[in-house]
Amino acid sequence: MTSGPSSIDTTEAQFVAEFETRLAEVVAGAALEGMVRPLLHRATLSFAGLDASGAISWTDDRFGTWVDVGEAQSIASRILSEPSSEKFGLTKSPQERPVLLTVVKTSSVSAWTSLDPSVRDQLEQSAEDVLIAVSLSHMSDEVEFAARALGLSNLEARVCAALFMHGNIKRAAVHADVSYHTARKALSGAMKTLGVSRQTSLIRKLSELATVAAPPREAVEQIVIDVFGFERRDAKLIHLLCEGFSRADAAKIVGISQAIAKDRFAYIFQELGISSATDLPPLVMSAFAAAVVVHDAPPLLKEARRDRAPLRLIRDADERVIAVNDYGPAGGVPVLIAHSSLSTRHPFMSFIDALRSTGFRPFTIDRPGFGLTDHAPELPDRFETGADDVETVCEAFGFETIHVVTRGGAFHALALARRFPELIGRVVVINPDLLQHDCSNRKGRLGLVRHAFDRHPNSVERVARWTSSYLSRKRIETIIRAGIGDAPADIASFSDKQNLDDYVRSITAFSTGTLSGFIREQRGYVLQTEIAGLASATNWVILMGESDPIHDPTEILDYWTTKLPGAEMKRVVGAGRFLSLSHPESVIDALNN
């Protein structure tokens, strides 16, 4: 997208126009089953165009290196001849790695907003249908990144990624350029660090982190049935192996004898063309990805930006994973940027750069049930859920005191200050929110959603799963445009493609079905009627823009003046809701003074 946030195409304009009707239908309807979608790297997909006769007419640069084109043609012909039942085919790469094939209409693929424009042009010009190859073994770089974020050594992470790619320790050792003994030792160390007893569960954990998706057992079993054609019993056996159970334990859980289990596992491995259980997690996740490709909702594609996302995964005393981005520098003054209820830990990089250049060390944390951070039990004050995670992260980093900046996370910052007052230095809150109970009039589409929640509080999860199941980059951009209002400063900020990309990235995690944090906090806004304030808030600054498309500024001032006695309240001339983008100097001044 090169044009500013005001641009919107016909399809999305229709979506916006129908939003109220759609929302009312979801609120009044039965519970929806949310779709969990993996976040795929572009390197996991390859494309071939099929002409009107079903013959391969074009392939991208990778296709012929992944699969035998003749065999792929045969599979495509079989899929096209039985479209009602057979949607997938399984083949192998020249490196003997499993590759899944599926066929979709060109019109479906060309609508993917993340598709390479050159690929889209070729397919639209030469293809009636598209044969898509899916191979998660090409995500080894992402797996290595996830392994390092979990605290594995460089060697352990490299060997884990090689095992994910090759499915065999001997081949993994060669790829990682180490001896077989060293590879086994590295894998043993990795399993000990991550608290797993089998290589299969190690690879499953890493594949889920790399794709930001952990589908529930029932979904995995159904996908295995739909993609590979196995019976329910065999699908259960496959999933149990992926979870790290031994073959003997899997047989007991399913309720079959060891003799029958031996035959079933032999059949499963033969049908899938694999020799080791370690091959199963990437293959099952590939099936998960292939199932998404043929779904009405577009797949989620991403590019690696590791240099801009220094991820670290910290485990608490209960072995929960907490996702942190630490932007450094090591000697800077630590500043937690607390995300809103409608986003995740990924911040605006222009603001990160501004903080770093003025001596600060910004870091971000996914609260429980957001992004990559594990779910945590809900506390009576829903916004306090996750406060302990901040303390855990600060102990891990050696932070004795931190500053906090937030837009949309004011209630979380307040709960954090009540719980750990000695930890909190300056707090800068940008355009703080209100509970529904204290808000007489909420404007815009977010206001429509909150009022719907207020009337039907049990609809929060239904609406969240409806919205997330249809998110794509284009739709996320539409949501952003609809939410920023008409403040000139905000419109100008989101005309910068980098700012728009950063916000899209922060919202994209919801598309994978990771919603428990969002649901918890939205219920907090609707169901909680009172939140305790502070006895003194002289270390707090509230920054408000001149234009707010959501709230009445007078109500905000009245509410937060009561909750934060002694806090400094400032109106920033010319600003909207996104002060950290349009007026970063005002935020930095508030931190320093």
Tokens 């608490």 identify what position? 316
First to last CA, the chain: 39
**pLDDT category, 126, cuts 50, 70, 90?**
confident
Q: Are residues 456 and 504 in the same domain?
A: yes
Residue 288 amino acid letter = F
**DSSP for 257-325, written as a single string:** -HHHHHHHHHHHHHHHT-SSGGGHHHHHHHHHHHHHHTSSSPPEEE---GGG--EEEEE-TT--EEEEE
Per-residue pLDDT reduced to its tens digit, 58-77: 999 999 999 999 999 999 99
Q: Final residue of a domain: which of 240, 262, 296?
A: 296
Q: What is the CATH number of the domain that holds 106?
A: 3.30.450
Closest CA to 289 of 140, 98, 134: 134
How far apart are alpha carbons 215 and 459 in whole angstroms? 22
Q: Are residues 470 and 406 in the same domain?
A: yes
How far apart are alpha carbons 76 and 556 in whole angstroms? 60
Per-residue pLDDT reduced to its tens digit, 510-534: 877 788 898 899 889 888 888 999 9
Q: Are residues 579 and 437 in the same domain?
A: yes
Per-residue pLDDT reduced to its tens digit, 378-405: 999 999 999 999 999 999 999 999 999 9
Residue 7 pLDDT greater than 50, yes or no: no
Q: Is 344 left (phi over 0), alpha (psi -120 to 50) or beta?
A: beta
- Lowest mean pLDDT segment, chosen from 22-26, 185-189, 226-230: 22-26
Q: Name the strand (E) or helix (H) holding 572.
A: strand 568-572
Q: Are residues 413 and 482 in the same domain?
A: yes
Q: How far is CA 432 from the centre of its chain?
A: 25
pLDDT at position 6 is: 41
Highest mean pLDDT among 246-250, 384-388, 574-578: 384-388
Residue 303 pLDDT greater than 90, yes or no: no
Q: Final residue of a domain: which of 296, 321, 354?
A: 296
Q: In this structure, what DSSP letter does residue 440 have?
A: S
**pLDDT category, 252, cuts 50, 70, 90?**
very high
Closest CA to 130 of 42, 48, 45, 227: 48
**pLDDT category, 21, cuts 50, 70, 90?**
low
Q: Name the strand (E) or helix (H) holding 48.
A: strand 45-50
How far apart are alpha carbons 90 and 102 in whole angstroms? 9
pLDDT at position 523 is: 87
Task: Give a yes or no: residue 375 inside a domain.
Answer: yes
Q: What is the CATH number of the domain that holds 235?
A: 1.10.10
Q: Final residue of a domain: which of 89, 110, 134?
A: 134
pLDDT at position 182 is: 96
Residue 16 pLDDT greater than 60, yes or no: no
**What domain range is 279 assigned to?**
217-296
Task: Give a yes or no: residue 493 inside a domain.
Answer: yes
How far apart are alpha carbons 300 and 295 in whole angstroms? 12
**DSSP for 9-40, written as a single string:** -HHHHHHHHTHHHHHHHHHHSPPP-PPP--EE
Residue 198 pLDDT greater than 80, yes or no: yes
For the chain, give the percent of residues with pLDDT over 70: 83
Q: In this structure, what DSSP letter does residue 130 have?
A: E
Closest CA to 372 of 509, 494, 540: 509
Per-residue pLDDT reduced to its tens digit, 42-52: 788 899 999 99
Q: Are residues 436 and 519 in the same domain?
A: yes
Q: Are residues 144 and 94 in the same domain?
A: no
pLDDT at position 31 is: 44
**pLDDT category, 3, cuts 50, 70, 90?**
very low
Q: What is the mean pLDDT of residues 366-379?
A: 92
Which residues does residue 58 pair with via DSSP β-bridges, in sequence order?
A: 49
Q: Are residues 536 and 412 in the same domain?
A: yes
Per-residue pLDDT reduced to its tens digit, 158-191: 999 999 988 889 999 999 999 999 999 999 999 9
**pLDDT category, 499, cuts 50, 70, 90?**
very high
Q: Are residues 263 and 222 in the same domain?
A: yes
Residue 307 pLDDT greater than 50, yes or no: no
pLDDT at position 515 is: 84
HSE, side-chain direction, 13 A CA sphere, residue 224: 28
Q: What is the mean pLDDT of residues 553-569?
A: 92
Number of domains in the chain: 4
Residue 452 pLDDT greater than 50, yes or no: yes
382 with 519: CB under 8 angstroms?
Answer: no
Q: What is the mean pLDDT of residues 99-111?
A: 85
Q: Are residues 256 and 144 in the same domain?
A: no
Q: Are residues 76 and 207 in the same domain?
A: no
10 Å Cβ neighbour count for 443?
13
pLDDT at position 5 is: 42
**pLDDT category, 195, cuts 50, 70, 90?**
confident
For the chain, give the percent of residues with pLDDT over 90: 47
Question: How many angstroms separate the Cα of 435 from the Cα of each of 124, 485, 571, 578?
Answer: 49, 20, 21, 20
Task: Give a yes or no: residue 21 inside a domain.
Answer: no
Q: Are residues 431 and 470 in the same domain?
A: yes
**pLDDT category, 457, cuts 50, 70, 90?**
low
Q: Are residues 476 and 513 in the same domain?
A: yes
Per-residue pLDDT reduced to its tens digit, 281-302: 888 888 887 877 776 555 556 5
Tokens (6 digits) for 362 = 């910004």
40 with 299: CB under 8 angstroms?
Answer: yes
Question: How many angstroms separate the Cα of 294 from the Cα of each of 43, 87, 555?
Answer: 18, 8, 48
Per-residue pLDDT reduced to its tens digit, 324-370: 999 999 999 999 999 999 899 999 999 999 999 999 999 999 999 99
Better-scored residue on pLDDT, 552 or 24: 552
Q: For 502-567, what is the HEC assignment?
A: HHHHHHHHHHHCCCHHHHHHHHHHHHCCCCCCCCCCCCEEEEEECCCCCCCHHHHHHHHHHHCCCC
Task: Give a yes or no: residue 110 inside a domain.
Answer: yes
Q: Name the strand (E) or helix (H) holding 483.
A: helix 473-484
